[in-house]
Amino acid sequence: MTSTPRTLFRLDYGGKLEREIARMVASFEENKFDTEHYPQRWLAIKLLECDADILERVQAMPNGAQIIELARQGAEKIKSMLGDEVDMITADHRYGYINGVVRQTLHRPNIDRITLTDRIDDVVTHKWFGLPFFFAIMYVMFRLVIDVSAPFLDWTDAVINGPIAHLFSFLLDLVLAPAWLHSLIIDGIVAGVGGVLVFVPGLLILYFFLALLEDSGYMSRAAFVMDRFMRVVGLHGKSFIPMILGFGCAVPAVYATRTIASRRDRILTALLVPLMSCSARLPVYVVFGLAFFGSRAGTVIWAMYALGILIAMLSGMVFTRTLLKPDASSAFVLELPPYRQPSLKSVLIHMWENTREFVRKAGTVIFAASVVMWLLLNLPWGVTNQQDSYFGKVSSAISPAFAPLGFDNWETGGALVTGFIAKEIVVSTMSQIYIGGGNAQPAEPTTFSEDLIGIGQGFIEATIKSGRILLNIIPGVHLIDPQKETENTALSDALRDHFTPLSAVALLVFVLLYVPCIATLGAIKHEFGSSWAVTSAVYQTAVAWIAAFIVYQGGKLLGFG
């Protein structure tokens, strides 16, 4: 049908294989098999090589089954004659030809020189230093991400709740918007979407460092060093990259599993990623930690991260033995490329692409969720007491399920429901319910230009503060004292009325483990289909309930109640 140019280069695979290829091509005609858009010779070779992808396609074509059977016989014949699989023979010929061309054209100095890459690898993949080096890198990265981003986080928060909220207010007043629309936009959308965007500075810094590691070539060394460890949990060395990303946000982490070749490994990684405590859960730990444990809050927060990792490891072992048994495709064949100096442009592109995934989530899912939440809280129309709203009714209905975990009240039930949208909302919902919608400080009216100056000043202050913290990370340098987190006293008092320290811990464990947020489930569905998203949701909620139950009831037995 189509006439391909006959002058194309054609590699000779040797008499016996060539005869079999010709026989295959002839059989296409004999069996009235239409090769469609595939060149005949190419298809014949792929069939004899038993290429899985091509076999699948041909199977679906008319008369495909007969052709596959003929190819199978042909491949058997070649193997018995030449003692090797067809794909090995074709590879031999191809590489033989390539070697010939290279020999004729490329002249390489014939000395085994020790490159800089070799010397770096002698240290970073060293028998004794390799693992400590890896953990040191991770430690420094997290210190930088969490501490250095903190002032910028506060700045973003101030900008969103200050100037941006003012701007919206101003515009709404300008068009004489009714009070309900004002409330929907300011209390619902700006507060909801803003609450998520606050994490952007931290993510930018996290992705900046990950891009540096990736582009310099260290990432594949890390996979090399960690593979044996990850395998205990049934994972691949490369799985550790998405797992680390999971500490930032599970959404880009789920997409990051694309670097893993085997589908089985990808799914298992995506199921474990949400167990890494993401940055959205941190505010919940901080608020409860400070309210109940004061100066020991840091220990509680650290314990939550450790518990997440522990549960992920146990889950990996369980899944590897049940739903996701290892298959042949989970091979570890990884190039360790030479180290290169990362280019700023490429680092910035990586950084932006990953952050964009998160911003998109804020722009779509969180936006929609904020509107729905606002409606639930404000319907039926004219409701004044939140417990009588649809939201209050749903929350009251589910709260008995939490009684064995130590937090049987509708407010907590409601906060957990909203946490499904994004985990950090647990805190804002609680503060809305416990201390009322009027928790926002009455803003002094400011002019537009004052706002602009404020944004700029705030950014400079944040940069200076962040720079000082950066220097502080260097051992031995102490420019500032470790800052005391400012405690939200109104919320803390309210929480202490409703929780005991034990039930607070049970709640934190539940928040750590329960159903991944809707954006994460969306990403899992997008990548692996609905059934895996459902599996993830059900599995984690079950694990969360059991773990919180053990903490609360166990704690009571031990006399901590």
Q: Catalog residues that contact other proteins under the rule CB under 8 A.
A: 50, 52, 85, 87-88, 91-92, 95, 112, 117, 121, 125-128, 130-131, 220, 223-225, 227-229, 237, 328-329, 331-338
How near is the Cβ of 132 to other proteins at its closest, in Å? Answer: 9
Q: What Å distances lie between residue 411 and 383, 396, 499, 527, CA to CA? A: 17, 8, 11, 34
How near is the Cβ of 59 to other proteins at its closest, in Å? Answer: 16
Whether the CB-CB separation of 213 and 152 falls below 8 Å is answered with: no
How near is the Cβ of 347 to other proteins at its closest, in Å? Answer: 23
CB nearer to other proteins: give 88 or 460: 88
Q: List Cβ neighbours of 251 (8 Å cut-off, separation of 6 or more).
A: 357, 358, 361, 519, 520, 522, 523
Q: Which amino acid would we find at residue 489?
A: T
Estimate the crossing angle of helix 200-216 against helix 130-143, to 10 degrees: 150
Closest CA relative to residue 78, chosen from 91, 65, 89: 89
CB nearer to other proteins: give 127 or 345: 127
CB nearer to other proteins: give 51 or 527: 51
How near is the Cβ of 259 to other proteins at its closest, in Å? Answer: 15
Find the Cα–Cα–Cα–Cα dihedral 233, 140, 249, 426, rounded to 10°.
Answer: 100
Place of tokens 């993830």: 536
How near is the Cβ of 415 to other proteins at its closest, in Å? Answer: 43
Place of tokens 């469609």: 36
Report the C-alpha gap between 353 and 342 in whole angstroms.
16
How near is the Cβ of 8 to other proteins at its closest, in Å? Answer: 23
Residues found in the chain:
561
Whether the CB-CB separation of 549 and 405 falls below 8 Å is answered with: yes
CB nearer to other proteins: give 121 or 411: 121
How near is the Cβ of 331 to other proteins at its closest, in Å? Answer: 5
CB nearer to other proteins: give 55 or 518: 55
Whether the CB-CB separation of 159 and 455 falls below 8 Å is answered with: yes
CB nearer to other proteins: give 294 or 337: 337
CB nearer to other proteins: give 115 or 483: 115
Q: Which two tokens stand for residue 396?
A: 């009251």
CB nearer to other proteins: give 126 or 325: 126
Report the C-alpha gap between 535 and 6 in whole angstroms.
54
Closest CA relative to residue 142, chosen from 257, 271, 276, 311: 276
How near is the Cβ of 271 to other proteins at its closest, in Å? Answer: 22
